[in-house]
Structure 1
Amino acid sequence: MHYRKAELQDAGSLAYVHVHSWRTTYRGIVSEDYLQSLSIVEKEEKWIRILSDSHHTYVCESEKGEILGFVSFGKERTGEYEGELYAIYLLKDHQGMGIGKTLFEIARGELRNMGFDTMWIWVLKENPSKYFYHKYSPALIKEETMTIGNERHREEGLLLDLNQKD
């Protein structure tokens, strides 16, 4: 496995991972109609915009050059906290191999390098993958309701101390 900063030419692969990881992670949580409506073309356009500007997105690439997962992070968007984990997604067939942990550690280290002491994380309450974050002992700060498709879902806001030792 190889980890590196994402480049503009990765936009299509990031879109593929983004859509397919949503479809597997949120199956049974988010409506199937919504999951099937996700568009790789639309996500690719979004990733082109992100990667065309200053960004903090890193990928995990297989030996064959296939992007298996990514992490995106930066300054917290509301100004209420310091750093934020915007997204971390990994193709289902490559989960449980330590890739997600390595991507998360890249985000933690880079946010510390940016001078941040905390990382804000939004996670769907029903997402079984949320327990991945619990080993880092985040504080549950708040819960909010959000709409995905036509359904309401609870989202948890976690705050992680970046200086905490594992």
Structure 2
Amino acid sequence: MIRKATWADAPAIASVHVESWKTTYSGIVPDVYLETLTVEEKQTLWEKVLRQSDHSVFVAEENGRVVGFTSSGRNRASNGPAVQYDGELYAIYLLKGAQGKGFGRQLVQVLVNNLE
């Protein structure tokens, strides 16, 4: 299930954010940095984002649990080929166990429909 995120989703989004970084970027980003990532820090970030009217955040749920999310808003590019677009995908994250199940495609489709 894909739905618009609410402020109450901030802890779950933060958890997905941190866990997906640790599994996806292990071996790419130094472990020392990955170990510094905390759900509490990201929760503060997502609480702030979810209060902003110019941000759209959607979550993917599986069995009632948030397993992924997207964040989007206005295009932040000031020049170059990306300027032709009004909206931008800021982030997309999925837990490792949720990958390959179509959640990413569904999240992007909802995001695109929201930008239109």
**1:13 and 2:12 are equivalent in the alignment:** yes
Paired residue type of 1:31: P
Cα distance in 2 for partners of 1:20, 1:106 equals 23
CA RMSD of aligned residues (A): 1.1
Using the aligned pairs only, state the percent identity: 45
Cα distance in 2 for partners of 1:18, 1:76 equals 22
Higher relative CO (CA 8 A, sep ≥ 6), structure 1 or 2? 2
Question: Which has the larger share of helix?
Answer: 2
List alignment gaps of at least 5 residues for structure 1: 114-166
List alignment gaps of at least 5 residues for structure 2: none
Paired residue type of 2:4: K
Aligned residues: 110
In the TM superposition, 1:1-166 aligns within 5 A as 2-54=1-53, 55-63=55-63, 65-80=64-79, 81=83, 82-111=86-115, 113=116
Cα distance in 2 for partners of 1:78, 1:99 equals 27
Between structure 1 and structure 2, the one with the greater Rg is 1
Cα distance in 1 for partners of 2:9, 2:97 equals 20
Paired residue type of 1:36: E
Question: Which has the larger share of strand?
Answer: 1
Q: Deviations over 1:30-57 (max 9, x none)?
A: 0011111111101000000011221200
